[in-house]
Chain A
């Protein structure tokens, strides 16, 4: 199956700082999603981004499918951004059933 690696595993920021989270995957994909799991455990879909760039407020994501990576940018971080960020890609070629990386744990201090 397709392997997903996320980096860094842990990140601590001061409020207002910017950050970049990375997701590498081992094979071509036709589907990539970013999720945020908040400290209460809720998993929220942030982006569906198989290629290109999307922006939503202070968050943006870019996927370069030919080079097998995706980046999630968080600008002017806030304490509410704390939690774990996951990227998910299809478990295997031709499928779209998501398999998840181990996530990046983000803590934003006030």
Chain B
């Protein structure tokens, strides 16, 4: 089985630009998570979806952040406009509730905003 697939792996962008991160969860998984990792704050949950529906977005830092899941095999996390403090590694993860809720992570998208 293919794991969680994220793109791009690395992105360097200028402040003010729009950034779109993409994720393909593991087939058959009904939960999808977006996490952000920084040295200061560790791993933070930004938002999660259940069956494509956003359930809790309380971790989304500001209105500049938005996430969508138009179907079971695709999700995006968008930052518009981006700021230097958004620089971080963004992880997508997925799980299936009836398999013990074991969570599987993608390899991450390393974002640098200059």
Contact with B along A79-99 (1 / 0, CB 8 A): 000000010100100001111
Residue of A nearest to B104 (CB): A45
Instruction: State whether B102 touches A97 (Cβ < 8 A).
Output: no
Instruction: State whether B101 touches A41 (Cβ < 8 A).
Output: no
- Residues of the B chain whose Cβ atoms lie less than 8 Å from the Cβ of A69: none
- Whether a CB of chain A sits under 8 angstroms from the CB of B89 is yes
- Residues of the A chain whose Cβ atoms lie less than 8 Å from the Cβ of B48: 97
Q: Chain B's interface: helix, strand, loop or mixed, by majority?
A: strand
- Whether a CB of chain A sits under 8 angstroms from the CB of B86 is no
- Residues of the A chain whose Cβ atoms lie less than 8 Å from the Cβ of B42: 100-103
The 8 Å CB contact of B45, one of A43, A44, A99, A101, is A99
Contact with A along B89-114 (1 / 0, CB 8 A): 10101000100111111011010000
Query: Distance in Å from the Cβ of A56 to the closest Cβ of chain B?
Result: 13
Residue of A nearest to B101 (CB): A96
Give the complex CA separation of A102 and B44 in angstroms. Answer: 10
Give the complex CA separation of A42 and B103 in angstroms. Answer: 13
Residues of A within 8 A of B (CB): 31, 33, 35, 41-45, 48, 86, 88, 91, 96-103
Closest 7 CB pairs of A and B: A43-B105, A100-B43, A48-B102, A96-B101, A48-B100, A102-B42, A41-B108
Residues of B within 8 A of A (CB): 33, 42-43, 45, 48, 56, 89, 91, 93, 97, 100-105, 107-108, 110
